[in-house]
Amino acid sequence: MATPDSIVVSLPTAADTHRFGRDRLAPLLEPGDLIIASGRLGAGKTALIQGIGAGMQVDGPVLSPTFVIARVHRGGRIPLIHVDAYRLDSIQEIDDLDLDTDLAQSVTAVEWGQGLVEHLTDEHLLIELNLPPQSAGSLPNRHFEEVESGGSLHNRHFEGDRLPGDEFRTAWLTPYGPSWQARLSDWTA
CB-CB neighbours of 172 under 10 Å: 20
Q: What is the pLDDT averaged over residues 39-57?
A: 94
Residue with more model confidence, 59 or 155: 59
Residue 30 confidence (pLDDT) above 80: yes
CB 128 within 8 A of CB 45: no
Q: Whole-model pTM?
A: 0.80
Domain parsing of the chain, residue ranges: 7-188
Give per-residue pLDDT as tens, 76-134: 889 999 999 888 888 888 888 877 777 889 999 999 989 989 989 999 999 999 987 64
Q: Strand 70-73 relative to strand 124-130: parallel, antiparallel, unpaired?
A: unpaired
CB-CB neighbours of 10 under 10 Å: 19
Closest CA to 94 of 122, 125, 115: 115
Sorting pLDDT into bands at 50, 70 and 90, what band is 23?
very high
Residue 5 confidence (pLDDT) above 90: no
Instruction: Give the CA distances from residue 32 to residues 91, 99, 133, 145, in Å, rounded to whole numbers and listed in that order.
Output: 19, 11, 34, 33
**The domain over range 7-188 is classified in CATH as 3.40.640.10:** no
**37 CB contacts (<8 Å, ≥6 apart)?**
45, 48, 49, 109, 110, 111, 112, 113, 127, 129
Give per-residue pLDDT as tens, 133-178: 642 333 333 333 333 333 333 333 344 444 445 678 999 999 999 9
